[in-house]
Amino acid sequence: EHTAYLLGGDHIWRSSPSLLVEEFAQGPHYGAQMMGTAVIGISATGFGPPPQFVYRESIFPVALTDEEYERLADVSLSCLRALDLGWGPSNVELRWTKLGPIVIEVNPRVGGAPTPRLVQVAYGVDLVTEHIKAVIGDEWDLRRRHSYTAAARLLIADRDGTLEWISGDSQAAAVEGIIEAKFYVEPKMPIVRKGDYRDWIGHLIAVSPSFAQTTTILQDAIDLIDWSIAPFPTPSD
């Protein structure tokens, strides 16, 4: 029905009557963080509701079985071979569907924020510094200095309007295990959501020796934070 509508109406693409239909890959989202042909670790990512799927949380490394880790790592490395990549940093995004791991993106670069920070906090490996070493011809060092679990939550406005107040940010920052608690906005600032990363109004990063403890710390801190956004005045107002 929708194909007939697109091809039959007065649309700008009617001169090229072809469509690309992509499968909706449903399942947990993972990211393999790599340098050269070495898999440093695998993160898990969470998103807001459709249709925007705004990125909202990440944890590194994610708790996986050995078999799950190997499958994700093998698929990621096969992507690098298929695309003749393997120099410097890269990250491969996948979803684990009913068919197994499905590749979403292959990015020949360091993963987007806050991934580099999570890797640094969890393993003591600074991807940005190691990337610079690769560029200038120095030998990079991917050895883990320690082994923790780090997680980030991006705070997203729930409506458009004027930010009236924020509370609990200092209390959240004081929670043991929280290493960053930042807001990018201040009271009286207008909030206009775009349906992408520009909707972030702040973030929290937690770290601890275990996956379960880190997620608990992060949620405890989030529960302390609140804000109020007043709707924009209407013409009648």
Active site residues: 109
**Spatial separation of the C-alpha atoms in residues 180 and 129, rounded to whole Å:** 20
Query: What does each C-alpha distance from 173 to 120, 184, 219 come to in angstroms?
Result: 19, 15, 12
- Report which of 204, 118, 188, 191 is spatially closest to residue 160, judged by C-alpha positions: 191
**Spatial separation of the C-alpha atoms in residues 152 and 133, rounded to whole Å:** 27
Residue 42 · residue 93 · CB < 8 Å: no
Query: What does each C-alpha distance from 175 to 106, 205, 216, 221, 225 come to in angstroms?
Result: 36, 11, 11, 6, 12
DSSP type of residue 207: E
DSSP type of residue 165: E
Cα-trace Rg, the chain: 21
Backbone angles phi, psi at 218, to 5 degrees: -60, -45
Segments in 18-139 forming alpha helices (H): 66-82, 115-123, 127-136
List of residues 6+ apart from 141 with CB closer than 8 A: 125, 130, 133
